[in-house]
Amino acid sequence: MTTGAHRRRTVRAIVRNPMALSGVLLLVLVLVAFFAAVVIGWVAPEAAFDADLRNVNAPAGSPGHLLGTDSSGRDVLVRLVVATKATMISAAIALGVALAIGIPGGLIAGYYGKGVDRAANWVSNMVMSLPSMVVLMAIISGYGTSMVVTMTALGCMMAPAVFRLIRAQVKAIRNELYIDAAKVSGLRDHRIIARHVLQAVRGPLVLMVTMMSGIAITVQTGLDFIGLGDENTITWGGMLSEGFSALHVNNALLLWPGLAMSLAVAAFFLLGNGVRDALQRSDQPASSRRSGRRRAGAVEPDGHESLGAAGTRDGVAAPAEDEIVAVRDLTVRYGADGDDAKDVVSGVTLTLRRGRTLGLVGESGSGKTQSAFALLDLLPGPARLVSGEAWIDGVDVRRLPARERGRRIRDAVAYVPQEPMSNLDPAFTIGSQLIEPMRHRGMTRKDARAKAARLLGRMGIADPQRVMRSYPHQVSGGMAQRVLIAGAISCEPRILVADEPTTALDVTVQREILDILRGLRDEAGMTILLVTHDLGVVADLCDDVAVMRQGRVLEHATVHDFFARPRHEYSRTLLASVPDEEYVRPPYRDDAAAMTEGVWR
C-alpha cells in the first residue's frame, strides 16, 4: 500500500471512529469560535466591552442577546467567543514549549543513552518533583500576570511528561533489529530518528498532545478563575470568576463559560483517544509490530566501547591482497573489568578470502553473532571490544575515527539478519524501505525504485511491484528474507554477512535462499560470511569454515579439509552429532566436486 493510500485509510478510520468524529466536530466548533473572535477583534474590537446598564443580567434568548447579558449588560455570547481566542493561544503556547523541549530531549536521551540520558533524566525528575501550581504562583508574583510568561512556565513544567514518553518509546525500539538494519544500510542517526523513531512515537504523542491541550486549558482557566490571569484579556476563566461573584443573581453566567471550557477539553480528549485508535487500526495488526527478538542486554548502554577505541597494536602487517576481511585477536567483553567481566568472544581470528564463502559454525551461544556484530561495529551497548584488529579491504577499521569507520564498513559490508520480519520496520512499505538506502547514496527515486524492483525479481519474486507496495506483515517469512537480501545488496557491497539467514524458514524456502546466496558468490563475486549452525548448509555452500566454541575459534580450514580431516576434537564431535549422515556424507569423500552435490541440490 502506498503512503497516500495509507493516509486515506487513516482518515477513513478517524471518520468511522465515533469518539474521534465527535472530537473533530467539537474541535471544529471551537475553531469556528476562535476565528470568529479574530474577526470580531478586527471589525468590532469594543463589542465584548459594550456595556448596556439598562439591560443587565438579561436571560438567554433576550432580543439581541442569544445567551443574555452579564451584570454590566455586556453580551455573553460575544464575550464567550472572544474569550476562545485567548484561551486557545494560551494552550498553544504551553503546548509548544512542552513539545519543543520534550521531543528533542526525549529523542536524544533515548537514542544516545549514557551520560546524556542520565543528565536529561535528572533534570526531568527534578522539574517533575516541583509542585506546578506553587511554581506558577511564584512566577506570577515575580513577573506579573502576563499570559505569555505564565504559559511558557506551564509549558516547561509539562515538558518532562513529553520527555519521558518519547524517551521510553525510543528506548523500547532503539535496539530493534530494523534500527540496526537501518544503521547497517548507512542511514545517519538523524535520519533514523526522523524516519523510524519519530514514526513509532507518533501514536502516543498524538494522545499526549491532545491530553496536554486539555490540561493547559484547564490550568489557564483555573488561574484566571482565581484572579491570577491577565485582567486585560477576556478569558473563560475570567468569565467564570465574574459568574461566580454573581452566582445568586444570575447563575447562567457560570454555566456558559463552564460549558465552553468543558466542550473544548472534551474535544481534545475525544480526538486524542479516537485518533490513537484510528492510527492503530490503520497500521498493521499489533501482533506483527515489533515482535522481533530484542537483543539481551539492551537496557542500558553503559561502557560501550566500539571499534576504533584503544587497543590497536601498531606495526602489524596488513593482510594479504585476497584477504578481504581479516579479523585478528578480537575480544568482546560484557560487564565491568574484574569479577563481572565475561568475554563472549576471546581472541578470535578469522579470514575471508575474496569471492569465497566462510561458514562460521558452532553451538548456540558460542559467539558467532557477537563476532559478526564486532566486525560490523554493531555491538550492543553493554559490550566492549577490548582488543583486536578488523581489517576490511586492506584497512584496519578499528584505527579509523568513528564516522569514517562507519562509512567504510557500510560501504563494504551488508548484513542479512536471522529474523527477517523483525528487521523490517512495520510502519513502512517494503518499497520505501528498499528505496531509502539507495536514495541516501544519491540515487534518484525513480532509479532506486526501478533497481529495487529489478533486485526483487532477481530474488525470485514474481510480482515485485505488488511486494513493494506491501507492508512487512503482508508478506511471508521467506519473502521478507528475499527482501532483506535485495536490500542488503542494493548498494553493491563487496561483502555480505548473513546471520543464520535460513533458520526461520521452511526447507523449500531455505533451499531457494541458499541458491540466491550461491548466485551472489558465483555470479556477482561477492564474499560471504555465513553464520550458521547447520553443517549441511556449510557443506552445500561454503568454501571455508571456522568452528567456534565458548567464544574461541577452534578450527579454521577449507570445507574440504574440515569434512575430510577435521583436526580438532570438537569438530569431530560436531560432525558425529549430525543426525542424518547423508547431510555430510558427500564431503567426507575425498572428492572436492562431490561436496557441492549434497542433499540440497
Ligand X SMILES: Nc1ncnc2c1ncn2[C@@H]1O[C@H](COP(=O)(O)OP(=O)(O)OP(=O)(O)O)[C@@H](O)[C@H]1O
* Residue 369 touches ligand X, criterion: CB under 6 A: yes
CA distances to 372, 392, 422, 469 from 426, in Å: 25, 32, 8, 13
Amino acid at 318: A
Euclidean distance between CA atoms 286 and 601, whole angstroms: 39
Using the contact rule CB under 6 A, the part of the chain among 176-184, 357-365, 424-432, 436-444 near ligand X is 357-365
CB of residue 549 to ligand X, shortest distance in Å:
9
Nearest to 426 by CA among 285, 275, 278: 285
Instruction: Write each residue from 527 to 566 as x if it is in contact with ligand X (CB under 6 A), else as -, in one continuous string.
Output: ------x---------------------------------
Whether residue 496 contacts residue 526, with contact meaning beta carbons closer than 8 Å, is answered with yes
Sign of CA dihedral 459, 460, 462, 466: negative
* Residue 362 touches ligand X, criterion: CB under 6 A: yes
Using the contact rule CB under 6 A, the part of the chain among 2-10, 362-370, 395-403, 425-433 near ligand X is 362-370
Tell me the three state secondary structure of residue 242: helix
Euclidean distance between CA atoms 297 and 407, whole angstroms: 26
CB of residue 380 to ligand X, shortest distance in Å:
5
Binding residues among 311-340 for ligand X as defined by CB under 6 A: 334
**Between 185 and 369, whose beta carbon lies closer to ligand X?**
369
Sole residue written with cell 533489529: 177
* Residue 586 touches ligand X, criterion: CB under 6 A: no
CA distances to 52, 348, 416, 468 from 420, in Å: 74, 27, 8, 16
Using the contact rule CB under 6 A, the part of the chain among 110-118, 208-216, 280-288, 359-367 near ligand X is 359-367
Sole residue written with cell 559478526: 372
* Residue 368 touches ligand X, criterion: CB under 6 A: yes
Residues 6+ apart with CB under 8 A from 317: none
Using the contact rule CB under 6 A, the part of the chain among 37-45, 217-225, 263-271, 365-373 near ligand X is 365-373
Using the contact rule CB under 6 A, the part of the chain among 248-256, 292-300, 405-413, 419-427 near ligand X is 292-300
Q: Which of 69, 150, 370, 481 binds ligand X (CB under 6 A)?
A: 370
Q: Which of 33, 58, 260, 344 binds ligand X (CB under 6 A)?
A: 344
* Residue 301 touches ligand X, criterion: CB under 6 A: no
Q: Which of 18, 131, 227, 365 binds ligand X (CB under 6 A)?
A: 365
Euclidean distance between CA atoms 122 and 127, whole angstroms: 9
Whether residue 220 contacts residue 232, with contact meaning beta carbons closer than 8 Å, is answered with no
Residue nearest to ligand X (CB): 297
Binding residues among 374-433 for ligand X as defined by CB under 6 A: 380, 382
- Classify residue 112 by burial, with Cβ atoms within 10 Å: 0-12, 13-18, 19+: middle
CA angle 105, 106, 107 (to 5 degrees): 95
Euclidean distance between CA atoms 482 and 388, whole angstroms: 33
The count of chain residues that interact with ligand X, using the rule CB under 6 A, is: 16
- Helix or strand run (H / E) with residue 546: strand 544-549
Residue 155, C-alpha cell as written in the block = 509549558
Q: Which of 15, 28, 296, 318 binds ligand X (CB under 6 A)?
A: 296
**Between 111 and 334, whose beta carbon lies closer to ligand X?**
334
Nearest to 389 by CA among 347, 323, 330: 330
Q: Which of 222, 258, 297, 347 binds ligand X (CB under 6 A)?
A: 297
* Residue 171 touches ligand X, criterion: CB under 6 A: no
Using the contact rule CB under 6 A, the part of the chain among 20-28, 154-162, 295-303, 420-428 near ligand X is 295-303
* Residue 367 touches ligand X, criterion: CB under 6 A: yes
- Angle at which helices 252-282 and 3-16 cross, to 10°: 140
Residue 209, C-alpha cell as written in the block = 498532545
* Residue 364 touches ligand X, criterion: CB under 6 A: yes
* Residue 502 touches ligand X, criterion: CB under 6 A: no
Q: Which residue ranges make up the site for ligand X (CB under 6 A)?
A: 295-297, 334, 344, 362, 364-370, 380, 382, 533
